[in-house]
Amino acid sequence: MTEFSGNRNFKISNQKVVESCSSNIALIKYWGKYEGQIPANPSISFTLNHCKTNTEMEFFAAEEFSVQTYLAGNEEVKFAEKIEKYFKSIEVYLPWILKGKYIIKTENTFPHSSGIASSASGFGAIAKCLMSLDHNFNVDNQQATTDTQKTSFLARLGSGSACRSLYNGLVVWGKTEEVAESSNLFAVPYPNEEIHPVFKKFNDWVLLVHEGEKTVSSTVGHALMDDNAYAERRFEEAHENFKILKEILKTGDMKRFITFVEHEALTLHAMMMMSNPAYILMKSGTLEIINNIWEFRKETGLNIFFTLDAGANVHVLFPENEESDSIKSFIKEELLPSTQNGKMVMDEMSF
Ligand code: PMV
């Protein structure tokens, strides 16, 4: 067995590790960041049950560093370049990381090119693989103590939102007075005893309004917040929103929750429209779906609402109860026609 000895007198041998990580959808959005992948505001998300990335990482100790990646069996050179850059950026924490050859095979449980963000589940799974390779990994003086916090710390450096995918349920990333253990460096679970049971099981049906690459990447989107005249107010609002959400989560006030979550989603897209240059990731199908949801909710009073990621797809949220059958029929009959190819991914969160 070939072995490489790192700076910490730690030997890492040829190994194959396999890990899986879920995607997540934010309720308070992270949009805007500082040097070192530090979020400009705290965020909170739900981890999804079914949208996952499964990753197999093979490591061969060698003096020369190389990365080969396969996505659903096809070689992906661009992804390999991204991973190489990421590994270089975390060498300070994993001194052995550039001393080897990697073959990384990754598969998403959701359709390829669906426009569903795979960076959260993707980097979450990669970070878990790295932790499996190096059980002794230690982020000296960086506050992360548990294994999950350390994995979250590593995932954050790949993609900010990925750090929240390491836990089930409601997860917080970014320092906020409202959550005692919160940190800018890694995510922590939202305290379970502070969550009303109505928020512990939810459907999230993702309507695929636009499949394929979006026109403006999240990296560019975050950077455009640097000069956005409304950014400071937005960051303040996100902090204030934690206080409001905390109360909603505790009392189980679904109506307030609905208004709150939709406001956050629209604020994210409003920030894009107020950037310089301005851009719009919503499509006409996105707006049709939003308007239809609003009309249906007004007519029926049912608890169906939406959130958005940095893209055109719509996450349609509704609790699972005796009312959900009519909501499901409405989605299939009235909302699905506004998607590009009549497709959706039926996911849920439960904890
Ligand atoms: O993790 P990134 O850099 O892909 O940023 C994603 C940000 C949003 O998905 C739009 C919001 C969030 O908090 O997940």
Q: What per-residue confidence (pLDDT) applies to 3?
A: 43
Could you tell me if 180 and 228 lie in one domain?
no
Could you tell me if 165 and 298 lie in one domain?
no
Q: Of 169, 194, 219, which residue constitutes the final position of a domain?
A: 194
Could you tell me if 18 and 148 lie in one domain?
yes
Question: 13 C-alpha vs ligand 1 centroid, how far in Å?
Answer: 34
CA distance 67 to 87: 10
CA 260 from centroid of its chain's CA atoms? 19
pLDDT in tens, 239-260: 999 999 999 999 999 999 999 9
Q: Where are the alpha helices (DSSP H) in the chain?
A: 77-89, 119-133, 147-158, 218-224, 231-251, 254-273, 284-300, 324-330
Could you tell me if 12 and 143 lie in one domain?
yes
Could you tell me if 268 and 329 lie in one domain?
yes
| Cβ of 303 less than 6 Å from ligand 1 | no
pLDDT in tens, 213-224: 888 999 999 999
| Cβ of 94 less than 6 Å from ligand 1 | no
Mutate to test the pocket of ligand 1, among 44, 161, 176, 281 (most ligand atoms within 8 A of CB): 161
| Cβ of 187 less than 6 Å from ligand 1 | no
Tokens 């990754």, residue located: 106
Contact 97, 67 (CB under 8 A): no
Does the pLDDT at position 343 exceed 90?
yes
Q: What per-residue confidence (pLDDT) applies to 289?
A: 98
pLDDT in tens, 152-191: 999 999 999 999 999 999 999 999 999 999 999 999 999 9
Question: pTM of the prediction?
Answer: 0.95
Please tell me whether residue 155 adopts helix, strand or coil conformation. Answer: helix
Contact 166, 124 (CB under 8 A): yes
Q: Taking the alpha carbons of 267, 269, 273, 276 in that order, is the dihedral positive or negative? A: positive
Residue 132 tokens, joined: 């499996």
DSSP state of 99: S
In this prediction, residue 135 has a pLDDT band, given cuts at 50, 70 and 90, of confident
CA distance 135 to 202: 34
Q: What per-residue confidence (pLDDT) applies to 253?
A: 98
In this prediction, residue 5 has a pLDDT band, given cuts at 50, 70 and 90, of very low
Could you tell me if 181 and 242 lie in one domain?
no
Question: 40 C-alpha vs ligand 1 centroid, how far in Å?
Answer: 12
| Cβ of 160 less than 6 Å from ligand 1 | yes
Q: Of 141, 161, 194, which residue constitutes the final position of a domain?
A: 194
Could you tell me if 266 and 144 lie in one domain?
no
CA distance 184 to 43: 10
Could you tell me if 174 and 323 lie in one domain?
no
- For residue 312, the enclosing domain spans 197-350
CATH number where 145 lies: 3.30.230.10
Residue type, 267: T
Residue type, 17: V
Could you tell me if 234 and 181 lie in one domain?
no
Q: How many domains does the chain have?
A: 2
Percent of the chain with pLDDT over 70: 95
Mean pLDDT, residues 29-47: 98
Could you tell me if 166 and 228 lie in one domain?
no
How many residues can be counted in the chain? 351
**Who's near 98: CB < 8 A, 6+ residues apart?**
65, 87, 88, 91
Does the pLDDT at position 142 exceed 80?
no
Tokens 């922590």, residue located: 188
Could you tell me if 175 and 222 lie in one domain?
no
CA distance 302 to 324: 9
Q: Of 136, 170, 194, which residue constitutes the final position of a domain?
A: 194
Question: 127 C-alpha vs ligand 1 centroid, how far in Å?
Answer: 17
The three-point CA angle 237-307-40 to 5° equals 35
CA distance 90 to 313: 32
Tokens 């975050």, residue located: 222
- Torsion angles phi and psi, residue 340, rounded to 5: -65, -45
Nearest Cα neighbor of 173 from 232, 212, 124, 220 is 124
Could you tell me if 221 and 257 lie in one domain?
yes
pLDDT in tens, 85-98: 999 999 999 999 99
CATH number where 316 lies: 3.30.70.890
| Cβ of 110 less than 6 Å from ligand 1 | no
Q: What per-residue confidence (pLDDT) applies to 141?
A: 62
Question: 49 C-alpha vs ligand 1 centroid, how far in Å?
Answer: 18
